[in-house]
Amino acid sequence: MFDRMLGNYLVEQGRLTGEQIKQAYEKQAQSRARLGVIAVAEKLMSIPQAEQINSLQASKDKYFGDLAVEMGYLTPEQVTRLLGEQGNAFMAFSQALVDLGFLSLDEISNLSQEYASKHGLMESEIDALKCNDISRIVPIFTKDADEKTVKMLIVAVKNIYRLVDQHVIIGNLEKKSSVSGECVGYQKTIGRDKICNCISGSYSDLQKMAMSYTKEEFIETREDALDALCELINCTNGIYATQESTESEMIDLEPPVYITHFANIKASVVYSLPVYCSNANVFINISDAEKTEIG
C-alpha cells in the first residue's frame, strides 16, 4: 500500500512527473527488489555497506547475501528473512525508482520520513504500510471506530486487496450521520452483531470496481455492477460472521440489496472509509443495522 501512497506524494510534491511514476509502476510489476535495497530499507545495512557488497560482486562469483554474511553485515537468519521480502511491493517500487535513475535509496528513505512526518505516522505504522500488513494498517486509519467496525473493515480491505486490486489505498475514516451515493449496495448482519455494511460512490467508480472484481472488460448495466459489489459485500460479511460467531452467539446475514439511483445512508453514526482501488474512489460505510435507514 505504501508504494502507491508514496508514489502519489512524489507526484504531488513535483519530485516525479505523472509519466515517470507510470514508468516506475510498470517496472515494479516486472521486477523483484534486490537484497541490498531491502537490507537498506530495513535499516539492517547502511548505503555504503550495500554499495561495498555490490562492488565486491563484480569480482567475486557470490550472492549478495553470502558476501554480507562474510563481511559481518548480516546474519544468515537475516538473509533468509530478506529473501522472503523480495516480492514486497514497496521494495520492488524502490528498486524500480533506483533502476530508472529517478531517485537514490537515500532520497527514498528521506522522502518516506518526510511523508510520515507530514501525515503524523509513527515508524511502526510506516513499517506496517511498507509490509502491506492490512491487519495493522486498517487500525491506523480507523482510530475513532469501535472494535466491531474495525474488525469488519479489516476483512473488507483484505477482500478488496485479494479480489479487486492489490494496490488498494485507504484514507482516514470519517464519522458521519449520513452518507450519500449515486448508487449503493449493502447488506445487514443479524444475531449478536447487527451491522450494516454498505459500498457507495458514483456509478462510474463503482462500475470500475465491479469490473476489477468480476474480471470483466465491461459491465453494461447498473444492476450488474451493483450485483457484483453486493456479492463482494456478502463475501466480507460471511467471513466476518464465521470469524466472530460462537456456538451460543451466532451472526447471520440478510440478503444483500442494491439501489441504482441516488440514495442516502442515515444512522446515528456512519463510519465511512474512503477507498481508492482500480482507479476508482469509493466508500465502505459501516453502521448499526437497527439504526440505519437507506433510501
Look at residue 58 in the predicted model and tell me its pLDDT.
64
The boundaries of every CATH 3.40.1550.10 domain in the chain are 134-294
CA angle 165, 17, 278 (to 5 degrees): 15
pLDDT > 90? residue 248:
no
pLDDT > 90? residue 30:
no
Exposure string for 53-64, b = 16+ CB within 10 A, e = fewer: beeeeeeeeeeb
Look at residue 166 in the predicted model and tell me its pLDDT.
87
pLDDT > 80? residue 159:
yes
Query: What whole-number percentage of the chain has pLDDT above 90?
Result: 79
Task: For residue range 73-126, list pLDDT tens digits in order.
Answer: 999 999 988 887 777 889 899 999 999 999 998 999 999 999 999 999 999 999
DSSP states of 132-174: T-HHHHHHHH-TTS-HHHHHHHHHHHHHHHHHT-TT-EE---E
What percent of the residues of the chain are helix, what percent strand, and what percent coil, each to the nearest 5? Answer: 50, 20, 30
Global confidence as pTM: 0.84
Candidate from 38-42, 170-174, 206-210 with smallest mean pLDDT: 38-42
Task: For residue range 264-285, list pLDDT tens digits in order.
Answer: 999 999 999 999 999 999 999 9
Query: What whole-number percentage of the chain has pLDDT above 70?
Result: 99
Exposure string for 99-109, b = 16+ CB within 10 A, e = fewer: eeebbebeebb
The span from the CA of 160 to the CA of 241, in Å, is: 17
Which residues share a beta bridge with 277?
A: 280
pLDDT > 80? residue 61:
no
> In the predicted model, what is the mean pLDDT of residues 248-272?
96
pLDDT > 70? residue 202:
yes
The class that CATH gives domain 134-294 is: alpha beta
